[in-house]
């Protein structure tokens, strides 16, 4: 009699266990697909904003820490520059609470970026790759961006950490290229920040003290403006539906062609 009474509960337990197994498998598949798709999406987003080729080797979704971790990001110079690499980012970690993502809220709660190397190339003619990147991203804060950070619901980072290992300056305006390597080994940590202006001027000052002049906040603002995640209240991501027809005159025609190619839809297999 007792077995008959308990039989429905046993069936229910088996059903719940089966549903749990299916849910776990579905979650694993979802994370696998997301990890495979995310690097291509972010790289494409950055390319359409900047016109610079971007390669991301790997991305990991860490469920318990609710972090999205990118590894080995390489931003390549446009064709026409004598050096291939512009920026090498060893690691980019962004904390995005899953509940916020479910509500389509892509405002980061913490950010950690480890820049392995930055190569600034001054060609024989025209502008540097650094200036081309800043000009092409063309970060222009809106009035709402300038006023951001004062409201209660403005994005606020619990922590922001930026590391820069090395800077290389290649000057090709001379008969023989003048190459200077600056070992920085810099790490700056900030807590409870909202606007980029609370962070990047201090980083510029710190890097200048370590021997790297001229890396203005405009570069870092352009870099974070090219990401699809909002890290600072005064830098709102914009969908890169269109690349401006007018790029700076100093940017090569090859860069224009590369930006136009990035806008073409990927053909269906």
Q: Are 235 and 144 in contact (CB under 8 A)?
A: no
**Per the domain annotation, does 245 fall within a domain?**
yes
pLDDT value of residue 8:
52
> What percentage of the chain's residues is helix, strand, coil (to nearest 5)?
40, 30, 35
Per-residue pLDDT of 66-91, as tens digits, reads: 788 889 999 999 888 888 899 999 99
Establish if 136 belongs to a structural domain.
Answer: yes
Do the domain assignments include residue 225? yes
Q: Between 9 and 161, where is the model more confident?
A: 161
Is residue 196 a part of any domain in this protein? yes
Q: Are 76 and 53 in contact (CB under 8 A)?
A: yes
Lowest mean pLDDT among 7-16, 82-91, 202-211, 224-233: 7-16
pTM: 0.74
Domain that holds residue 194: 39-146+155-261
Is the pLDDT at 244 greater than 50? The verdict is no
**Looking at the domain assignment, is residue 30 inside a domain?**
no
Residue 16 belongs to some domain of the structure = no
Which of 99-103, 124-128, 176-180 has the least mean pLDDT? 99-103
Name, in order, each residue with C-beta under 8 angstroms of 251's C-beta and a sequence gap of 6 or more: 51, 78, 126, 127, 132, 135, 136
Phi, psi of 88 (to 5 degrees): -120, 115
The C-alpha atoms of residue 209 and residue 92 are separated, in whole angstroms, by 25
pLDDT > 90? residue 19: no
Nearest to 124 by CA among 167, 84, 170, 78: 170
Residues 12-39 have a mean pLDDT of: 47
pLDDT bracket for residue 61 (50, 70, 90): confident
Average pLDDT score over residue span 54-68: 81
Q: Which helix (H) or strand (E) holds 192?
A: strand 178-193
Q: Does some domain include residue 87?
A: yes
Most confident listed range (29-33, 90-94, 145-149, 150-154): 90-94
Report if residue 267 sits inside a domain.
no
Residue 241 has pLDDT above 70, yes or no: no
Name the band, by pLDDT with cuts 50, 70 and 90, for residue 114: very high
| pLDDT (0 to 100) of residue 119 | 95
Confirm if 133 and 182 have CB atoms less than 8 A apart. no
pLDDT bin (cut points 50, 70, 90) of residue 40 is: confident
CA-closest candidate to residue 155, choices 224, 234, 219, 223: 234
Q: How many domains does the chain contain in total?
A: 1
pLDDT of 259 reads 42
- Measured from the Cβ of residue 199, the count of other Cβ atoms closer than 10 Å reads 23
């Amino acid at each position: 009699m007792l077995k008959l009474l308990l039989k429905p509960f046993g069936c229910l337990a088996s059903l719940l266990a089966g549903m749990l197994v299916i849910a776990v498998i579905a979650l694993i598949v979802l994370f696998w697909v997301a990890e495979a798709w995310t690097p291509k999406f972010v790289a494409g987003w950055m390319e359409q904003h900047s016109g610079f080729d971007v390669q991301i080797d790997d991305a990991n979704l860490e469920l318990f820490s609710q972090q999205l971790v990118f590894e080995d990001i390489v931003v390549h110079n446009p064709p026409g520059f004598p050096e291939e690499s512009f920026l090498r980012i060893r690691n980019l970690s962004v904390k995005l609470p899953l509940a916020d993502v479910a509500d389509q809220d892509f405002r980061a709660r913490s950010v950690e970026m480890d820049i392995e190397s930055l190569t600034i190339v001054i060609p024989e003619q025209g502008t540097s790759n650094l200036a081309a990147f800043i000009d092409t991203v063309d970060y222009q804060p809106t009035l709402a961006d300038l006023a951001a950070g004062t409201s209660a619901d403005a994005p606020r980072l619990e922590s922001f950490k930026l590391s820069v290992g090395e800077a290389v300056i290649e000057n090709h305006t001379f008969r023989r290229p003048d190459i200077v390597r600056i070992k920085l080994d810099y790490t700056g940590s900030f807590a409870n920040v909202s606007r980029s202006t609370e962070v990047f001027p201090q980083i510029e000052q710190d890097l200048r003290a370590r021997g790297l002049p001229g890396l203005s906040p405009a570069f870092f603002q352009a870099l974070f403006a090219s990401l699809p995640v909002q890290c600072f209240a005064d830098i709102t991501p914009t969908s890169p539906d269109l690349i401006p027809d007018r790029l700076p005159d100093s940017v090569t025609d090859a860069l224009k062609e590369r930006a136009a190619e990035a806008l073409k839809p990927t053909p269906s297999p």
